[in-house]
Amino acid sequence: MSTQEQTQVKLQVQALEGIPALEAYIAAQDANKIRMPKPTTTVEKRVIRCPKCKGTGDYDGPTWEMSRECWTCRGEGTITRTKRTRVWPEGTSEQDVARYESELVRRYGVRLAKKALKEAQAHNARGAKADAFIAANPGLAQAFREDHAIIRDLRDQLTRKGSLSEKQVALALKIAREIEAREVARANAPKAPRGRVTVTGEIVSTKEQYNAYGYSFKMLFKAQEGFKVWVSVPSAIACEKGLEGRTLTLKVTLKPSNDDPSFAFGTRPTIVG
Ligand SMILES: [Zn+2]
């Protein structure tokens, strides 16, 4: 069987998708099975001089190597070559030999297909086991819908192994609960208004920033209504100390964040009171 024939058969089997296609291929191939005269194989062993070290047994490479022994013959200076020859029974025609060759190719294809079939069946069995596991653990199906790195990893593990430990299930459910709680909190959070507004609230924190445009002094401002604003500290109070915790009424232009409607970016802040 030539390498080319092997490659061809391999591609043919790889193109088969699904268990029914593999089963049909195997059945069709087995229908073509032929009885054939079998050759016997004679094995002839010959000891020859090592071609790498030319019989010296020494490694002829860089001297910093630990071992000075030839790797090919392990320092023996000789290697054993095995020659296999097919011997056909008397009366075997050239046609018979050709049939034998094609039968080898056919059998190779069947071997590959049977291996692929076994893998596909094992894969399905794992999938069925994973499905049953999800069904037996309330809330897990829901949890697996969340887009979260740990959840994804647990889902992969379940697909591979067919089950998870109790701790892993508890972890998946806990993460799902936390995500849901965050979503509820976000949905219920007070929404920041848009446009030029007057807001009263408290300075939560301040931060000095340096960027391409130079220096700016920013503050996180929490309105009485509950939404938060990221805005420059108004110049009127920028030099004062102990700004955090101070209550202010500001006139400011707000633009709510796309990611979080309870958070807005403010511009042109002026102190009203
Ligand atoms: Zn050698």
pLDDT greater than 80 at residue 23: yes
Q: Given this model, what pLDDT does residue 67 score?
A: 65
Mean pLDDT, rounded, of the chain: 89
User: What is the rounded distance in angstroms from the CA atom of residue 265 to the CA atom of residue 215?
Assistant: 18
Greatest extent of the chain over all pairs of C-alpha atoms, in Å = 114
Q: How much is the pLDDT for 74? A: 87
**Ligand 1 is a single-atom ion; what residues have CB below 5 A from it?**
50, 52-53, 70, 72-73
Ligand 1 centroid to 85 CA: how many Å?
26
Residue 242 Cα to ligand 1 middle (Å): 83
Share of the chain above pLDDT 90, in %: 55
CB 59 within 8 A of CB 73: no
Which domains does the chain carry?
Answer: 3-123 (no CATH), 137-186 (no CATH), 195-271 (2.40.50.110)
Residues of the chain above pLDDT 70, percent: 97
Render pLDDT for 183-228 as a digit per residue (tens, 0 to 9). Answer: 888 888 899 999 999 999 999 999 998 888 788 899 999 999 999 9
User: Sorting pLDDT into bands at 50, 70 and 90, what band is 61?
Assistant: low
Residue range 116-137, pLDDT digits in tens: 999 999 888 888 999 999 999 9
43 CA → ligand 1 middle, Å: 23
Expressed in angstroms and rounded, the spacing between residue 62 Cα and the centre of ligand 1 is 16
CA of 42 to the centre of ligand 1 (A): 27
**Contact 232/203 with Cβ under 8 angstroms?**
no
pLDDT tens by residue, 158-192: 988 888 999 999 999 999 999 999 888 888 889 99
- Confidence band for 97, pLDDT divided at 50, 70 and 90: confident
Ligand 1: distance of its center to the CA of 86 in Å?
Answer: 30
pLDDT at residue 64 in the model: 62
Q: How far is the CA of 63 from the centre of ligand 1 (A)?
A: 16
Q: Above 90 in pLDDT, residue 20?
A: yes
**Tell me, what's the pLDDT at 65?**
57
Q: Answer yes or no: is pLDDT of 46 > 80.
A: yes
Q: How many angstroms is it from 79 CA to the middle of ligand 1?
A: 8
Top mean pLDDT of 46-50, 53-57, 65-69 is at 46-50
